[in-house]
Structure 1
Amino acid sequence: MSLRHGLLGLLAEGPASGYDLARRFTEVLGSIWPAQHPKIYAELGKLAGEGLVEVESEGPRRRKAYRITESGLAEVKRWLTEVDVDHTMRLQPLLRSLFFWLMDAEDLQKHLAAEAGFYSKLAEQYRQYAAAKDRGDYGYSPQTQSLRVTVEAGIRLYTALADWAEWAQTVPPAKPSTD
């Protein structure tokens, strides 16, 4: 996913400042797709220059609220329907797993236990978020329904990674073979 399309999608929900968009990225996408403030502000400038967003208002300390334009909405819809999905997943834990053979078995056990705990905790946080959505705590808007689908993906992904880390503790190199 490109940052630009994430910003356009969030602005399709309603006007927001760069600060608000950074907060929404953290709330909604958290560890899945982080976005830093400087990159968000730079991208908003580019989007405005391309006519995909416009400044709706300017407040104290030159805080700008942006809104999506018709061209911006058309662009995010085009991205959703016409652009091939990038299925690349850059998961550092999996890259590290390629080199587990360089770790002592005891250190690796500790690392994998910590990973399993981290992912289990994250999956539980997402389950609680999903339960609140299912109860209707956030209403039933199309945005909320789409977010629920995203939350479910997070639950399943983090559960799978926790299961993987648990399993990895039971096989070499975490448990040296007894040959």
Structure 2
Amino acid sequence: MSLRHALLGLLVDRTASGYDLLKLFDTSLVNVWPATQSQVYGELTRLADAGLLEVVGQGPRGRKDYALTDAGLTELRRWLAAPSTEQPRRSDALLRVFFIDVLPPEQRLAYLNHLADQAAGQHAELEKVRDTVDWTEEDSLTVNGALALEFGLRLTTMQEEWARWAAQLISSREDRTVEEGTGEGRI
């Protein structure tokens, strides 16, 4: 996914200024694809220069309202229909798990419990979104946003459960190793 395509998608059913788009990011895409003000405004200029957006209005203080062009809609459809090339195979957290036995037992558990707490915190933030958004709207951002939100809720639940399970497994192995007197508890 790219910021370019996120902006094109947000402009499918509406015109909007950069400020409006930032607000939409903060209420709908922040947990999927966060963007800063400078990124959004810079990309809007590039999209307009490429003919994928057009300025349809100007207001005070240089405010510009953007609309999707036919070329922009074609590009968005091309991107949506193309197979995703993104292969998220890197995970700093899981790389650390591969070598976690280098740490002393209490640090192993602390790390895994931190991962569980982090996932629980992310889950709580998503629950706040779920509980504060009016999901009765029938527009595509609301309907599809609910789908993405559910993915995030399920993913963070799984991440927390996995980290707690891993901590329990390491703890029980550590207990067995200590009982058997087989060394320092390295797994």
Q: Same fold (TM over 0.5)?
A: yes
Q: Give the CA deviation at 1:158.
A: 0.9
Q: Cα RMSD over matched residues?
A: 2.7
C-alpha separation in 1, matches of 2:108 and 2:172: 6
Q: 2:116–2:160: 8 Å Cα contact kept in structure 1?
A: yes
* Identical counterparts, % of pairs: 35
C-alpha separation in 2, matches of 1:96 and 1:60: 51
2:155 to 157, 163, 166: 157
Q: Give the CA deviation at 1:146.
A: 1.2
Q: Give the CA deviation at 1:20.
A: 2.7
Residue by residue over 1:22-58, the C-alpha shift from the partner in whole angstroms, topping out at 9 and shown as x without a partner, is 3322332324322222222221111111110111222
Structure 2: segments with no counterpart, 5+ residues: 183-187
C-alpha separation in 2, matches of 1:109 and 1:55: 55
Q: Which residue of 2 aligns with 1:66?
A: 66
C-alpha separation in 2, matches of 1:43 and 1:72: 13
1:85 aligns to 2:49 (yes or no): no
Aligned pair count? 176
Q: 2:135–2:143: 8 Å Cα contact kept in structure 1?
A: no
Q: 2:58–2:64: 8 Å Cα contact kept in structure 1?
A: yes
C-alpha separation in 2, matches of 1:174 and 1:97: 16
Q: 1:169–1:175: 8 Å Cα contact kept in structure 2?
A: no
Q: Which residue of 1 aligns with 2:138?
A: 140
Q: 1:56–1:67: 8 Å Cα contact kept in structure 2?
A: yes
Q: Which residue of 2 aligns with 1:14?
A: 14
Q: Which residue of 1 aligns with 2:34?
A: 34
Counterpart of 1:116, as a letter, is: A
Q: Which residue of 1 aligns with 2:185?
A: none
